């Protein structure tokens, strides 16, 4: 059993994170979810808590357990950090060391733990040179990316930016976890 932190950001694809959390939990992993405030507008923390049987973390300044700092403890105990969906915003924050919410602070505290980003955004946002530079920075820093699919997006555009299929994400997670044994 591995400890997996699942970061969920504010994308319409956030509902697919429930399937990821459910499958990873059924595979025997201990899944801890961090949701951005925007993610909670697409899917509720209660859904993820029910599926993972763990408290869902949303607040950087939560004092649920004053004996440990939540974003540090989550980062230190993770065997893998999975961000699905990963918006352009969280990719930019991670690439530039911005830690202004629980998820970005936990990402900044991760050291030597595999981090997997699964982008989901509009094609123009994904192909924007700034986003591509941020992705390159994170890849050069050792992070993994699961490429988005080309599809009709929520906005009606057709292009690359749809969250990768759940099976593709799970296969990547499995390969990374098995290589780090």
Q: Give the residues across from 149 on adjacent strands.
A: 162
DSSP state of 72: H
- Parallel, antiparallel, or unpaired for β 149-152 and 158-162? antiparallel
Q: Cβ(167)–Cβ(18) under 8 Å?
A: no
Q: Cβ(137)–Cβ(95) under 8 Å?
A: yes
Q: Cβ(132)–Cβ(117) under 8 Å?
A: no
With b for 16 or more beta-carbon neighbours within 10 A and e for fewer, the 110-149 pattern comes to beebbbbbbbbbbbebbeeeebeebbeebeeeebbbbebe
**Total number of residues shown for the chain:** 181
Helix (H) or strand (E) holding 81: strand 80-86
Which stretches of the chain are DSSP H helices?
A: 16-26, 45-52, 70-77, 88-96, 102-109, 123-127, 129-140, 166-179
In the chain, where are the structural domains located?
A: 3-179
- Per-residue pLDDT, 181: 37
Q: Which residues are catalytic?
A: 155
pLDDT per residue, tens digit, the chain (181 aa), is: 899 999 999 999 999 999 999 999 999 999 999 999 999 999 999 999 999 999 998 876 665 666 665 667 787 788 999 999 999 999 999 999 999 998 999 999 887 899 999 999 998 899 999 999 999 999 999 999 999 988 776 777 777 888 999 999 999 999 999 884 3
Looking at domain 3-179, what is its CATH homologous superfamily? Flavin prenyltransferase-like (3.40.50.1950)
């Amino acid at each position: 059993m591995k400890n997996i932190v699942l970061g969920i950001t504010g994308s319409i694809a956030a509902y697919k994170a429930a399937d990821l959390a459910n499958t990873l939990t059924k595979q025997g992993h201990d899944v801890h979810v961090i949701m951005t405030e925007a993610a909670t507008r697409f899917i509720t923390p209660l859904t993820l808590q029910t599926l993972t049987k763990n408290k869902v973390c949303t607040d950087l300044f939560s004092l649920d357990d004053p004996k440990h700092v939540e974003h540090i403890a989550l980062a230190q105990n993770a065997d893998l950090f999975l961000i699905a969906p990963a918006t352009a915003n969280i990719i930019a924050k991670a690439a530039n060391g911005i830690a202004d919410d629980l998820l970005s602070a936990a990402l900044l505290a991760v050291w030597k733990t595999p981090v997997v980003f699964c982008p989901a955004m509009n094609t123009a946002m994904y192909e924007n040179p700034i986003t591509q530079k941020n992705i390159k920075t994170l890849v050069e820093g050792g992070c993994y990316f699961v490429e988005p699919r080309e599809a009709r997006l929520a906005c009606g555009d057709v292009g690359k930016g749809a969250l990768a299929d759940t099976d593709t994400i799970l296969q990547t997670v499995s390969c990374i976890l098995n290589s780090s044994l």
